């Protein structure tokens, strides 16, 4: 896959790394341990450390400002329960909170801080290569082979509501796809992009994965789910870095989520789609 975006040459420094990790580790406090007080404490410690790291620096970008944007998004998301629900109230709640978690950092960055740290490059690096098209097929095949075993053998499909009517199945389809798109807007275009201004690419990707995987845990990807979600989060960051194409990473995510949707429907309705999956 040809590089479409110049990799950052940011050196790894102790204070920016410590501040970024503290902010990122608020995510498992919020979304895994369900301990808001611990999450708030981690965010506060991270922002204080970022202020310390900024002192005496002549950089054009401020670590404190960038981590404050990530913190704002995380606080907004943490304000609602993330258990998958399909009623009208839950879907409106998700829409408002997740939408605000992307919109608020973007608007503050653009109109308060007056920079363009957060962008959504839809087309990015131009035409997709042959490898990119092959990877789309590979995502479908890997999802078809792995996801039924994960969801059904671990029982985590029960973290999603029973979908046994056309209306509920349609709601599940919309919900799974919408959250998948949001994942890329927040974790990749916001969190990863902001971290890259202060950390080397690999380090920034590892740190954003902490936030990404923690969110998915509360959403329902539990048991041994991180064995799948950690590589997925890292791959999405890497692919975005190489392609600079939001359209491509969203397509990858939606294809993966299409398999997730099919597995959830199959798990809750045995026999409805006989022969579609191996399990």
- Which residues of the chain carry a pLDDT beneath 70? 1-8, 58-59, 125
Give the model's pLDDT for residue 2: 42
Given its phi and psi angles, is residue 61 left (phi above 0), alpha (psi -120 to 50 degrees) or beta?
A: beta
d(C-alpha 237, C-alpha 6), whole Å: 14
- List pLDDT tens digits, range 12-53: 899 999 999 999 999 999 999 999 999 999 999 999 999 999
| pTM (2 d.p.) | 0.93
Q: Which residues contact 214 (CB under 8 A, 6 or more apart)?
A: 27, 28, 30, 31, 32
Using DSSP's 3-state secondary structure scheme, residue 120 falls into coil
Q: Which contacts of 200-203 are long-range, i.e. CB under 8 A and separated by 24 or more positions?
A: 200/8, 200/10, 200/11, 200/12, 201/7, 201/8, 201/241, 203/12, 203/17
In the 8-state DSSP scheme, what is residue 65?
A: H
Domain boundaries, given as residue ranges, for the chain: 14-268
Nearest to 1 by CA among 136, 122, 131: 131
Residues in the chain: 279
**Under 8 Å between Cβ of 59 and 50:** no
CA dihedral 174, 175, 176, 181 (to 10 degrees): 90
């Amino acid at each position: 896959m040809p590089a479409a975006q110049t990799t950052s040459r940011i050196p790894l420094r102790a204070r920016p790394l410590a501040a970024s990790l503290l902010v990122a580790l608020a995510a498992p406090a919020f979304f895994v341990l369900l301990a808001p007080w611990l999450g708030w404490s981690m965010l506060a410690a991270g922002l204080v450390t970022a202020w310390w790291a900024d002192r005496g620096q002549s950089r054009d970008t401020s670590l404190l400002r960038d981590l404050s944007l990530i913190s704002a998004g995380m606080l907004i998301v943490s304000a609602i329960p993330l258990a998958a629900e399909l009623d009208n109230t839950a879907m409106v709640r998700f829409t408002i909170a997740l939408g605000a978690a992307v919109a608020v950092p973007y608007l503050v960055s653009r109109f308060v801080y007056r920079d363009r740290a957060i962008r959504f490059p839809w087309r990015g690096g131009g035409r997709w290569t042959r490898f990119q098209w092959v990877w789309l097929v590979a995502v479908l095949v890997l999802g078809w082979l792995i996801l039924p075993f994960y969801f059904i053998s671990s029982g985590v499909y029960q973290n999603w509501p029973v979908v046994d009517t056309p209306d509920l199945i349609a709601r599940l389809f919309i919900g799974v796809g919408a959250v998948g798109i949001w994942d890329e807007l927040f974790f990749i275009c916001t969190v990863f992009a902001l971290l890259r201004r202060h950390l080397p690419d690999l380090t920034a990707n590892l740190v954003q994965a902490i936030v990404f995987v923690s969110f998915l845990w509360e959403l329902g990807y539990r048991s041994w789910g991180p064995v799948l979600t950690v590589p997925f989060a890292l791959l999405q960051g890497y692919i975005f870095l190489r392609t600079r194409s939001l359209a491509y990473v969203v397509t990858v995510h939606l294809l993966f989520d299409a398999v997730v949707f099919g597995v959830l429907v199959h798990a809750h309705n045995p026999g409805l789609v006989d022969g579609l999956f191996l399990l």
